[in-house]
Structure 1
Amino acid sequence: MQKRWGTEAHYHITTPGTDEFYFSAGQWSPDGTCLLTLDSSRTVRLFNTPASLFDAAADPGPRDAALVLTRADPIYAAAWPPGMRSADPESCVFALATRDHPLLLIDAYTGLVRGKYTALADGDMTTAPHSLAFSPDGTTLYGGMENKIAVFDINIQGNNPLSYLNTTPTRKSMYGQKGLLSHLSTSPFHPTLLLASSYSKSFAVYDTTCGESVALISGIPGTGVTQAEFSAADASLILVASRRSNVIQAYDARNLADGAPLFELPRPGNTNQRIAFSQSPDGKLLVTGDSNGNVLVYDLVEASRSSASSKGNDGNMTDIGDTTTNTVLINATKISDEAVASAVVHPYYYPDSESGKTTYWMAAVTGERRQLSIPGSNYQDSDSDMETDHVETRGTGVSAEINMFQITK
């Protein structure tokens, strides 16, 4: 297995450093033509994918954002519909959730509002979901709130969702999935299933046809689950990341009864800041940033194989970090002195049948929040439902960055 980073197609964007600015998330569009970023200045930016990412001899093109939208209030989440194609302008939209505002469907070319949908909190107050996900067919938009999921038909605008999926019977109930839902995801392999993560240290699988929970796993290490995804190859795994956790856990999606992970992938992440992972389209790689400024690339096929071959009769979890990192960890490359908030794999990849190698393209966004702390000062992090002790948040003094690069495996 060849382990190297390709540098001939490297593309680097540096933004002016300020006391407020850092990138918090990045997402490729489903057709790979642009990268959407969120940052601490309450701004959405769309960058066109440069031709030089795939061809080092090509003109790199402009590095400025093709679209910039700044909101007055914090942005909670954004999501692309799976059918987005730049060649079809009608499909070029993304959903945007901003605190205390209706959910918007934004035209990716013009920035104009195409649709508006309102979710209500207790007391009939307009609220915004903290997480978003489209159904695999793109007709339904799910919004993760506190103790419930709003279900919108994107063809029906108005003041109420199509329905609500309650994740717990009542606010005071001991049962169900409690807390603010930090992340939602779906899989084309199971189009009726919805995977929800909660800051209450849990993730759950819901059947959207009946609105019932299929499985609930609680007590995940860390201070709240920030991401849970079905494996891209066949949805046989559920991959889980938490804040203030130094691992990404993998669960057997076909057997969640015992609630135990199959294996763990090391990833330094002892921070309240979200650090998102992604998978290659073929499901073979998992890519993640970490709190030390590294991009880590793991071989999910090898991790699953190693887990299956070394799991004992007692059913204990395989320790990938100690036993098989030399084959499971394909590469670890430091790209910044700041945390890498998102490392995302481009939706297209290039397998070469003659050489047996496959080339993948990636993007990573960097920057982090730094805090000055004093005891007894309560502040609620916009990424969380927990209070922390500090008086102010300030930037690092280092420019936030976008790095685009390739890896050949």
Structure 2
Amino acid sequence: MDHQDASPSPPTRVKLVASTGDITSGSTPTTRDSRGDGDIHGYFEAAQWTADGTTLLTSSSSNEVSGYIVPADLLSPRHTPHSLTPSARIPLPEPSSVLASAPYFDLSSPWTHQLLVSARDHPLQLFYLDPSTPNPSPASSYPLTKTPRSETFLAATSLAWPAPGTHFVAGARSLLARYDVSRAGEGPLSRIHTIPSERHLSKGGGVGMRGTVSALGAGGGLVAAGTWTRWVGLYDFLAGGCVATWSVAGADQGARGGSIGGDGITQTVWSPCGRYLVVAERKARGALVYDVRVTGRLLGWLVGREATGNQRIACDVFPGSDEAGGFEVWSGTADGAVRVWEGVGGREGAHEPAWGWQAHERSAVGSACVHMSGSVVATCAGSWEFPDEEEEGDDEGGDEEEEGENGKTDTKQMAWMRRRNKESSLKIWSIGSGQGGDDDDERENREEAEAETEAE
């Protein structure tokens, strides 16, 4: 089956029940670009459900974290989707690609509305998502430095905050650090260096896993770490060391002849059963599935996960049905579609998507996260686009040329300054149980038409 043909129209499986609408369609920009190149609209980069499933947390390119409380009557019959508006916002001082909410989040208990973020040149910070405070200050901070005596902050490039929530793990360059949440202002309880020494001429001498830890996934007492250098490592903090490391580059070339590619790990996701590990990369057209019971053994790969750019595209897992077995993987693509793989873990080799739909117009789907109930899925999309050569040639404005530092035209800077947002929105979809069926409205229309024909 060709994965390009596995995308039925939304009414067959899913139905839009809530949306923010396009947040880039306003008349004025929402933020000033952090590069200082001008005012532009921000767009959604990632979304995740809170532990109790009542709230969606989003991060945006405008350095802002927002909380969206899901309507209580989300799945009640209605003619138009609900309108989503943020109940709380947290502006961050610097760009951040790391966000983790408390695994004990409970909407009825305000003290649990906690989330961790990591911003450049700042310690790890814990915020409260408080609707009554428009510009909240960090409730506590956790310094991350290269060594315990160093005063230079390291920016955490990944976070994992597993249940019960008493501790969390941060990743940086060739380093993992474990913190106690209750010890505000203190450094990590323990550190694990992924290579023996950063001072060695060969940076570890070929031992361990060298590189920036770009992804963390916690499950079954182990932490699965992935790096921009395409290495995966399993670490046990209770045992105080590394369990296993392996490179995914060899698997990519050997198993598929390089047909899927990859240029750095963006996500490591444990299966619901804890036996398999899904490894997602940037600049890739698929995802890898490993059986962790046999270290480094590639079980299969998911075909059709089009994440061909540098932008992070996060996937999610959900327990599979009894009929299909295995588990499900949900992921967005760079062209606005969402694809679903069923029965993952139950077969070897290439795995085609079972179905999918066009969730957004043209923007990359940064996140596709399934609610714990399995009845709804949230998607968020947003990305930049640049004027093509024809548009640049047709533009006869006075800003066609701009002198760089050396008095020459800086064409790259010009293109960056003229970038524009594609459609960006946060949507919630209800998931139907039927396959290839019509939704309620279409069924009612068909029945009415049949009744009129019989009457005539």
Partner of 1:150: 177
CA distance in 2, matches of 1:371, 1:74: 21
Instruction: Confirm whether residue 26 of structure 1 aligns to residue 47 of structure 2.
Output: yes
Is the contact between residue 229 and residue 238 of structure 1 (CA under 8 Å) also seen in structure 2? yes
Instruction: Confirm whether residue 181 of structure 1 aligns to residue 213 of structure 2.
Output: yes
Q: 1:253 to 1:346 in 2, by over 3 A?
A: same
Over residues 321-377 of structure 1, what are the superposed CA-to-partner deviations in whole Å (9 max), with x where a residue is unaligned? xxxx3xx5232334221111111111223xxxxxxxxxx20111111134689xxxx
Over residues 73-112 of structure 1, what are the superposed CA-to-partner deviations in whole Å (9 max), with x where a residue is unaligned? 1113110121211122222211111111111111122545
CA distance in 2, matches of 1:147, 1:393: 34
CA distance in 1, matches of 2:264, 2:20: 32
Give, as a single letter, the amino acid of the residue that structure 1 aligns with 2:350: D
Alignment of 1:180-219 (within 5 A): 180-187=212-219, 190=220, 192-219=221-248
Q: 1:347 to 1:305 in 2, by over 3 A?
A: same
TM-score, structure 1 as length reference:
0.81
Quick one: which of 306, 309, 321 aligns to 1:268?
306
Over residues 91-134 of structure 1, what are the superposed CA-to-partner deviations in whole Å (9 max), with x where a residue is unaligned? 22111111111111111225453321111136530222111111
Q: 1:371 to 1:217 in 2, by over 3 A?
A: farther
By how many angstroms is 1:61 displaced?
A: 6.2
Instruction: Confirm whether residue 280 of structure 1 aligns to residue 315 of structure 2.
Output: no
What is the DSSP-based 3-state SS (H/G/I as helix, E as strand, rest coil) of the residue aligned with 1:267?
strand
Quick one: which of 245, 248, 264 aligns to 2:284?
245
Q: 1:86 to 1:251 in 2, by over 3 A?
A: same
Is the contact between residue 11 and residue 53 of structure 1 (CA under 8 Å) also seen in structure 2? no
Q: 1:121 to 1:157 in 2, by over 3 A?
A: same
Instruction: Confirm whether residue 94 of structure 1 aligns to residue 118 of structure 2.
Output: no
What is the DSSP-based 3-state SS (H/G/I as helix, E as strand, rest coil) of the residue aligned with 2:118?
strand
What is the DSSP-based 3-state SS (H/G/I as helix, E as strand, rest coil) of the residue aligned with 1:90?
helix
Gaps of 5+ in 2: 1-7, 30-39, 250-260, 321-325, 389-410, 434-456
Partner of 2:338: 295
CA distance in 2, matches of 1:369, 1:59: 29
CA distance in 2, matches of 1:395, 1:121: 36
Is the contact between residue 370 and residue 393 of structure 1 (CA under 8 Å) also seen in structure 2? no
By how many angstroms is 1:393 displaced?
A: 6.6
Quick one: which of 309, 316, 319 aligns to 2:350?
319
Partner of 1:353: none
Partner of 2:196: 169
Work out which of the two has the higher radius of gyration on C-alpha atoms and give 1 or 2.
2
Alpha-carbon RMSD: 2.5
Is the contact between residue 222 and residue 235 of structure 2 (CA under 8 Å) also seen in structure 1? yes
Quick one: which of 365, 368, 385 aligns to 1:343?
368
Give, as a single letter, the amino acid of the residue that structure 1 aligns with 2:212: L
Is the contact between residue 118 and residue 125 of structure 2 (CA under 8 Å) also seen in structure 1? yes
| Alignment size in residue pairs | 359
Q: 1:247 to 1:59 in 2, by over 3 A?
A: closer
CA distance in 1, matches of 2:16, 2:186: 50
Give, as a single letter, the amino acid of the residue that structure 2 aligns with 1:21: G
Quick one: which of 230, 250, 253 aligns to 2:270?
230
Q: 1:52 to 1:39 in 2, by over 3 A?
A: same
Gaps of 5+ in 1: 308-317, 350-359, 374-388
Quick one: which of 23, 26, 43 aligns to 1:15?
23
Percent identity over the alignment is 25
Alignment of 1:30-109 (within 5 A): 30-57=51-78, 63-109=84-130
What is the DSSP-based 3-state SS (H/G/I as helix, E as strand, rest coil) of the residue aligned with 2:62?
coil
Partner of 1:305: 346
The structure with the largest strand share of the pair is 1
By how many angstroms is 1:7 displaced?
A: 2.1
Is the contact between residue 372 and residue 393 of structure 1 (CA under 8 Å) also seen in structure 2? no
CA distance in 2, matches of 1:281, 1:83: 21
Give, as a single letter, the amino acid of the residue that structure 1 aligns with 2:123: P
Q: 1:336 to 1:113 in 2, by over 3 A?
A: same
What is the DSSP-based 3-state SS (H/G/I as helix, E as strand, rest coil) of the residue aligned with 2:345?
helix
TM-score, structure 2 as length reference:
0.73
Over residues 56-87 of structure 1, what are the superposed CA-to-partner deviations in whole Å (9 max), with x where a residue is unaligned? 34997663211111122111311012121112
- Structure 1 residue ranges, 4+ long, deviating more than 4 angstroms after superposition: 58-62
What is the DSSP-based 3-state SS (H/G/I as helix, E as strand, rest coil) of the residue aligned with 1:127?
coil
Is the contact between residue 45 and residue 68 of structure 1 (CA under 8 Å) also seen in structure 2? yes
By how many angstroms is 1:22 displaced?
A: 1.9
What is the DSSP-based 3-state SS (H/G/I as helix, E as strand, rest coil) of the residue aligned with 1:143?
strand
What is the DSSP-based 3-state SS (H/G/I as helix, E as strand, rest coil) of the residue aligned with 1:347?
coil
CA distance in 2, matches of 1:36, 1:65: 9
CA distance in 2, matches of 1:393, 1:26: 27
By how many angstroms is 1:12 displaced?
A: 4.3
What is the DSSP-based 3-state SS (H/G/I as helix, E as strand, rest coil) of the residue aligned with 1:126?
coil
Is the contact between residue 76 and residue 129 of structure 1 (CA under 8 Å) also seen in structure 2? no
